[in-house]
Amino acid sequence: MKPTQKQIKEFWELCGCKGNVLAYLGNCSLTLDNLFKYAVEKVRIKVGDIEFANLMRRWLRELLLGKDPTLALFWVIYKVIKDS
């Protein structure tokens, strides 16, 4: 399932992006490059190493099920940061 523009903007805000970075990311398509560059490390710091390892395991399970890597990572991170 593809996220809405509102969900994408909320995602980047929850990851701590502001100003020009938020404006740029809110207007471009999701890519693994952008997720790893702007979200993954911030989420690791926010949730801690153990929860981050669980997050990466969930992402790998999604990949094994044949899901799109970018969307799978987005949704795994989104759920974690939205609930924290």
| Full domain range(s) for residue 12 | 5-83
Extract long-range pairs of 78-83: CB within 8 Å, 24+ residues apart: 78/3, 78/7, 78/11, 78/14, 80/43, 80/47, 80/51, 80/55, 81/11, 81/14, 81/15, 81/43, 81/46, 81/47, 82/10, 82/14
Confidence (pLDDT) at 82: 84
pTM of the model: 0.88
Q: What is the pLDDT of residue 52?
A: 93
Q: How many domains does the chain have?
A: 1
Which ranges of the chain have pLDDT less than 50?
none
Predicted pLDDT at 17: 82
pLDDT of residue 83: 82
Return the pLDDT at 18.
Answer: 82
For residue 38, the model assigns a pLDDT of 86
